[in-house]
Amino acid sequence: MSRIGKNPVAIPQGVTVDVKDNVITVKGKLGELTQQYADVTVKVEDGQVLVERPSDSKDHTAKHGLYRSLINNMIEGVSNGWTKQLELVGVGYRASNQGQKLDLALGYSHNIVLEIAPEVKVETVSDKGKNPIVKLTSHDKQLVGQVAAKIRGFRRPEPYKGKGIKFVGEQLRRKAGKSA
């Protein structure tokens, strides 16, 4: 039995969940999200969302926990939102934004200008003596993670000095340099 799948998802105040034709729609103060599902049944009862599966086959067991987690992330997103913070570690690495355009100086011969999706709010923090931080906020967890991974992919952290773009709080695996 899936331990995650059998837990009900509580629906907070101000969030509405609508299930119709294998599509679940979640609306809240921060936005609206939809998700298709298959091979499971989704019911909304007494302020909770219940996900049930028809059998104990491997495919049904996997999708049981998957769709429960996706629904939980949707409800959490439209009520509280999701935030990812990226830290630019390196001499001369800078980040600035004008609206939805993120301008990154990462040690290449040119700046990287990235157009961010309108659902994601982008904010840059540059304090003197500290590494620049890029904050991404949205109601869609998958979209925030995808945008953050794309930004991180421009300059992954290297294992010797730790230079690059890393998530705030991420522990990097460091290597020893040359031994004399």
> How far apart are alpha carbons 22 and 129 in whole angstroms?
52
Look at residue 22 in the predicted model and tell me its pLDDT. Answer: 92
- Write down all domains in the chain, each with its CATH number in brackets: 9-79 (3.90.930.12), 82-167 (3.90.930.12)
The pLDDT tens digits for 36-61 are 999 999 999 999 999 999 999 999 99
Residues with Cβ within 8 Å of 177's Cβ and at least 6 positions away in sequence, in order, are 160
Neighbour-count burial of 129, counting CB atoms closer than 10 A to its CB (0-12 exposed, 13-18 middle, 19+ buried): exposed
Checking if the pLDDT of 1 tops 80, the result is no
Look at residue 178 in the predicted model and tell me its pLDDT. Answer: 85
Neighbour-count burial of 89, counting CB atoms closer than 10 A to its CB (0-12 exposed, 13-18 middle, 19+ buried): middle
Rg (the chain; Cα; Å) = 21
User: How much is the pTM?
Assistant: 0.90
Checking if the pLDDT of 106 tops 50, the result is yes
Instruction: Yes or no: say if 155 and 168 are a contact pair by the CB < 8 Å rule.
Output: no
Q: pLDDT grade, residue 88 (50/70/90)?
A: very high
> How far apart are alpha carbons 73 and 27 in whole angstroms?
13
* CB-CB neighbours of 40 under 10 Å: 18
Look at residue 180 in the predicted model and tell me its pLDDT. Answer: 67
> How far apart are alpha carbons 25 and 31 in whole angstroms?
11
